């Protein structure tokens, strides 16, 4: 996550110039001094556009509280692997996510720091290799007290620990969120799972092909995915059976396993592992970024020493 994204800064500046300029020209035609009115919409557009970068810049000057750092150290295996500069950037991403997402407890759930940290840490893990990325989709997270069904009620048939929507909040049950990082090597992490779905929502719906995969390689991705889903159905995969439910579920379960059991995945599913390393630009076995030539390392921490 960047403090300022170059593309949005450019868009904001251009919009301010065009709208401000248009108002200035119209004003000047009425009376020359009214041309200064163009400054008003220009300044408003700049103020709105720069609000988030300024907020991030202020946050980046503060440190993540030591209790939160301790929590990350004991719960998130990637974090202690990172070199100091990369660790600082990880902490900054956690701060941005905790600040910019709204967290709400439903049916009596109290939103505690560990719940917020659990979600923010998963986002920081997914984005770490790709500093230019942001998490797509909704910035609202609801915590339910227990499993829910399609109608969002807890009932005898309640089967969901989490749900992500293309538009709408991310829903997670508080117990499953806590379980996710309590054992970060069991390949069962509802937060990574639901956030992974966010990368998969695009115009085609959730199809297991993340929208950020280059169109040229989408075909290869689908071929690999079909083959790996067959392995799941035939009991020849380390991915849990739910991965065969649908292509979108395959991707989300694969992401959980990639980050929680990277050595095992590299041993048993080398091609899938390599595809995910290429997608996330990160090798979770070492915590090192694997930048592509088009995305050279920045911040002096591209090839971190573990
Ligand atoms: Zn899912």
The full 3-state SS of 123-149, as one line of letters, equals HHHHHCCCCCCCCCCCCEEEEECCCEC
Please give the distance, rounded to the nearest whole angstrom, from the Cα atom of residue 286 to the centre of ligand 1: 27
Q: What is the pTM of this model?
A: 0.86
CATH number of 62-289: 3.40.390.10
pLDDT at 215: 66
Please give the distance, rounded to the nearest whole angstrom, from the Cα atom of residue 162 to the centre of ligand 1: 8
Please give the distance, rounded to the nearest whole angstrom, from the Cα atom of residue 302 to the centre of ligand 1: 31
Q: Grade residue 295 by pLDDT with cuts at 50, 70 and 90.
A: very low
Output 71 or 291, whichever has higher pLDDT: 71
Output 211 or 147, whichever has higher pLDDT: 147
pLDDT single digits (tens) 144-163: 999 988 777 676 677 889 99
Output 305 or 52, whichever has higher pLDDT: 52
Report the chain's mean pLDDT, rounded to a whole number: 88
pLDDT single digits (tens) 268-282: 999 999 999 999 999
- Averaged pLDDT for residues 258-262: 97
Please give the distance, rounded to the nearest whole angstrom, from the Cα atom of residue 28 to the centre of ligand 1: 57
Please give the distance, rounded to the nearest whole angstrom, from the Cα atom of residue 163 to the centre of ligand 1: 7
Please give the distance, rounded to the nearest whole angstrom, from the Cα atom of residue 295 to the centre of ligand 1: 30
The Cα diameter of the chain in Å comes to 78
Q: Grade residue 302 by pLDDT with cuts at 50, 70 and 90.
A: very low
* Beta pairing class for 170-173 and 140-144: parallel
- Averaged pLDDT for residues 246-251: 93
pLDDT at 296: 42
**What are the residue boundaries of the structural domains of the chain, listed by start?**
6-59, 62-289
pLDDT at 31: 85
What percent of the chain has pLDDT above 70? 91
* Beta pairing class for 282-283 and 288-289: antiparallel
Q: Return d(Cα 41, Cα 187) in angstroms, integer.
A: 51
* Helix residue spans in 143-281 (DSSP H): 174-182, 190-198, 215-233, 247-260, 262-268, 270-280
Please give the distance, rounded to the nearest whole angstrom, from the Cα atom of residue 81 to the centre of ligand 1: 28
- Averaged pLDDT for residues 92-113: 96
Please give the distance, rounded to the nearest whole angstrom, from the Cα atom of residue 70 to the centre of ligand 1: 29
- Averaged pLDDT for residues 168-191: 94
Q: Which residue has the tokens 């009214």?
A: 34
Q: Return d(Cα 277, Cα 253) in angstroms, integer.
A: 15
Residue 160 is classified by DSSP as B
Q: Return d(Cα 122, Cα 98) in angstroms, integer.
A: 11
- Averaged pLDDT for residues 80-103: 96
8 Å CB contact between 45 and 15: yes
């Amino acid at each position: 996550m960047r403090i300022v994204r170059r593309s949005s800064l450019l868009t904001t500046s251009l919009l301010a110039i065009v709208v401000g300029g248009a108002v200035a020209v119209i004003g000047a035609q009425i009376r020359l001094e009214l041309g200064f009115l163009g400054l008003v919409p220009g300044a408003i557009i700049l103020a709105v556009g720069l609000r988030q970068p300024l907020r991030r810049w202020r946050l980046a000057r503060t440190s993540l509280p030591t209790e939160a750092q301790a929590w990350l150290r004991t719960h998130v295996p990637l974090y202690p692997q990172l070199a100091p500069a990369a660790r600082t950037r990880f902490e900054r991403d956690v701060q941005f996510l905790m600040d910019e997402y709204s967290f709400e407890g439903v049916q009596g759930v109290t939103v505690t720091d560990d719940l917020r940290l659990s979600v923010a840490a998963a986002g920081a893990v997914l984005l770490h290799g790709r500093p230019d990325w942001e998490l797509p989709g909704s910035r609202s997270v609801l915590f339910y007290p227990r499993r829910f069904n399609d109608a969002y009620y807890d009932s005898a048939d309640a089967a969901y620990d989490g749900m992500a929507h293309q538009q709408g909040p991310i829903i997670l049950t508080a117990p499953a969120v806590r379980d996710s990082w309590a054992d970060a090597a069991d390949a069962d992490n509802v937060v990574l799972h639901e956030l992974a779905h966010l990368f998969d929502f695009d115009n085609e719906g959730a199809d297991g092909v993340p929208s950020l995969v280059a169109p040229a390689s989408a075909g290869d991705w689908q071929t690999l995915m079909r083959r790996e889903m067959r392995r799941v159905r035939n009991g020849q995969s380390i991915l849990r059976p739910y991965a065969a439910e649908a292509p979108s579920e395959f991707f989300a379960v694969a992401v959980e396993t990639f980050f929680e059991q990277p050595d095992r995945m590299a041993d048993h599913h080398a091609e899938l592992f390599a595809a995910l390393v290429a997608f996330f630009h990160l090798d979770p076995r070492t915590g090192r970024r694997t930048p592509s030539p088009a995305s050279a390392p920045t911040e002096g921490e591209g090839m971190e020493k573990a």
